[in-house]
């Protein structure tokens, strides 16, 4: 189960529905990226996806721009493989991205942190 709360709720402990949409996008894409890099035998030890959205100024305030920052950890991760995995997720595999893309621009960037 998922707890949701309104943004103006005092002591709200849950997420707003729009935050859940961003979380769905990030988790869908992360799932794809992990799978694609595993098939390439990349030695990834961690992945964090930071996601934020910019809403339109008028009701119903749809997202117009979503930014996704991938932070990958691993040993010898190749930039080409990471970029390709993110691109494939965004354009081919992630159903959440396919749903959102017609109405909002999705901007992606990534950072690779080399493990010792």
Look over the chain and give the mean of its residue pLDDT values, rounded to a whole number.
Answer: 94
Q: 9 versus 100: which is more confidently predicted?
A: 100
The pair of structure tokens assigned to 55 is 């809403």
DSSP 79: H
pLDDT of residue 80: 98
CB under 8 Å to 48, separation ≥6 — which residues?
70, 71
**Rounded CA separation 51/30 (Å):** 11
Fold of 23-114: GMP Synthetase; Chain A, domain 3 (3.30.300)
**Rounded CA separation 12/90 (Å):** 32
pLDDT of residue 60: 95
Average pLDDT over residues 75-101: 97
Average pLDDT over residues 47-62: 97
**Rounded CA separation 1/3 (Å):** 7
The ranges assigned to domains in the chain are: 23-114
């Amino acid at each position: 189960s998922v707890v949701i709360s309104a943004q103006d709720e005092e002591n709200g402990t849950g997420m707003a529905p729009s935050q859940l949409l961003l979380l769905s996008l990030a988790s869908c894409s992360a799932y794809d990226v992990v799978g694609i890099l595993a098939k390439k035998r990349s030695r990834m030890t961690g992945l964090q996806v930071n996601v934020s959205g910019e809403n339109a100024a008028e009701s119903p305030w749809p997202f117009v721009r979503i930014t996704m920052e991938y932070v990958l950890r691993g040993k010898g991760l190749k930039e080409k493989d990471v970029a390709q995995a993110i691109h494939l997720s965004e354009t081919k595999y992630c159903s959440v991205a396919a749903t959102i893309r017609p109405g909002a621009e999705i901007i992606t960037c990534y950072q690779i942190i080399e493990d010792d």
